[in-house]
Structure 1
Amino acid sequence: MDFSRLKYISCDAPTTGELELLNESKVRIAQVIRARWIILGILAAYGIVPYAIFHYYSIEIHSVNDLQVVFPVLAWCVVATYNAFFLYSYQWFANIRPLNQIQLLLDLLFVTVVIHFSGGAVSWFWPMYLVVTLESVLLMENPSDTFAFALGASLAYGGLLQFEFYGILPPASMPFENLSLQQTLPYVITKWAWVTMTNMIMAAIGVYLMKTIRLREEDLRKLVIRDNLTSLYNRAYFFYRLHSEIRRAIRYNRPLSLLIMDMDNFKEFNDRYGHLVGDQLLRVISGTIRSNIRYSTGKPGYELDIPCRYGGDEFAIIAPETTSAQALFMAKRLCKEIGVKCGGEMMAHIQAATGSHPTEVPDVTVSVGVASVPEHASETEALVKAADDAMYVSKRSKKNNVAVSETAPSVVPTTSAR
């Protein structure tokens, strides 16, 4: 996903992989928005109930002036307003990073305002900075962003204490507190150092826990969508992604190609060297396929092309934004890479399995069929059949070859309205 500018989905043509990453971010945003409503509710109850009780039962409540009541209420209303805006608008944003940054900066400002009007150096509300840090852990992908916001909280709190100490901002008086501490420099410095240290520790713990959770989630996801032998995407995920990418290609009038490849003489290889060596050959070919597809260089990174294990010795690559001519070039390059590298890589595996050095490099080749949207098909089954038929044409000709489908689409897709 391009995070460099603000945009809406309706003006872009995101791939299924990009949409999956976007949706994961939006789930986290929804969680933060709900948590913010809960925190606002707690703050409202904490502000109203004690104030009402102390107003009637304690004379010290009169040390609280009108500004200390009005400004926190106004800040609370501002937070409720932008949280409501985010609640009803975040689904429409395709660029999530600036939205998250704005939320965190506004929350940081709100916490600083609340701390100032509740006593500054003697305020009980400084742990709310920890809440903002945890919020950044959940929202931001990069650990450096979390530490940056934790540092920002430290600077905001330190700046507030300095402004109050030197009288730039009049310190707010609070009942039941030793107000002289607001003008005691050793106490101010010690309090700032304590808040900074706890905030940084919270950031480190949060980053570690979130990293562990995300790695665990990714491992569980791989168990569902990856083939155990080759680590490529499995057949079920292949059809899910292919259907999604076809719908995207038709909607946005974008090219899409499908490559289906079958290993040549794989049965003879298994019969000669054994099925365990055959399994290793499938892994070697899968590694070659992965090294020849396109990847996003952003963070988080993802595969632009989708490599899958289609069947026993059949593989498939879904190539978004790729015309049939580009797919043909890609397939020829892949055939050459497999033919040159895989046989040599299998020499050591064959020797380990048989106990003797092979007298010749095994001939490892594949036959590839290519079909594209909208040239050859506009539906999932039709596109698979077109690519599969082209692959068999390649295999029947001379193997280690590429053939492009000659099938005409039964229905020519039209660009749908955005």
Structure 2
Amino acid sequence: MPYYRAVGELPRKRHQVFAKPDGGLYNEELMGEEGFSSDASLLYHVNLPTAIVKSEAVERPAALDETQPNYPLLPRGYQTQNLPVGGDVVADRQLLFANEDIRISFVAADRPNELYRNAVGHEILYVQAGDARFESVYGAMDVGAGDYVVVPASTTYRLVPSDGDTTRVMTFEARGHVRPPRRYLSQYGQMLEHAPYSERDFRAPTEPLVVDEGETQVLVRHRAGLTRLTYAGHPFDVVGWDGYLYPYVFNINDFEPIVKRFHAPPPVHQTFEGPNFVVCSFCPRTLDFDETAVRVPYNHANVDSDEMMFYVGGDYSARKGSGIDIGSISLHPSGVTHGPQPGSVEASIGKPSTDEMAVMVDTFRPLHLGPAARACEDTEYGTSWARNQQTRHLGETGPGLTA
């Protein structure tokens, strides 16, 4: 994050003697990006963060990560609501799409995961539904529907669904760091007035989370695979930390849509960016306000990117005939033109607003299809424009969010 936070107990100076009440010393740990050349935080542990007791290789069935190209090329639709329910947010991720830069998965979690650390890159956990507690070495945060939980690389964490609740989460695993778009920030990292959010919209841990336990296992994802490390003490033993690197939460309902007289392109909805991908939030908003405006997106071909849209809220009756509903996904790859369903343009004229809500990811390398995508595909989606063109009746469709 682009601004400084301090939580818990800290000595006056960095790298200074910091005594425990029993006379011993707290152990410093610097969590820093790009080798001392970018954002960092300094954490103070009760136990040694280096005290590894055991290291074990963890084998993951190759079939769970097997992807296939989008071939033959086709726009595709998916229904995550038809995927299996249960498990935890790490071990039971169901892979939808992947490329060299990002992995996109879905899980309906009903139990806590074992402590987990992704050393490959940042993660975004988008909570579609349900409540949970996000616990990490930095502290804990309550999260719920609409929350983007941004987890820095190498953060040890777990997600604990509320008792009796299922937390439906889409996970985005970057091969690198995730940040707010650079154009939203001043040269010193302050969010600018034209940004669709401000620092007040972001939540982060406000107090330490200290667990006094002995040997504890942590599952680590790294570039060679998965390893389970056993530490002499629980990693959640940080009495204080400060810096610019920490997990945070942004709720999609706090995104302030940018509206123009005529239709604005998807970059106005951008929320985050990572290596070769962007994340956008489509929120309820007033539609284009010129009386002659066409209030749905124009047909467009993203010649350099694939577009994945996850539909998370609102009334989708305007998409009658497309199969889209809450929990659906559309995938529009480079090489094909996409746009609103037949009849939507005419029906949009005079519509004042939309209440549809969606999370979009645009990637600059092709997305390959994972096992979960192949399991929940709506095979009628790709040809729905031709089919609806033949059967449409004006008034049965309306403005939609297809980017």
For the aligned pair, the TM-score class normalised by the smaller chain equals under 0.3
- TM-score w.r.t. the length of structure 2 is 0.21
More helix by share: 1
Higher relative contact order (CA 8 A, sep 6+): 2
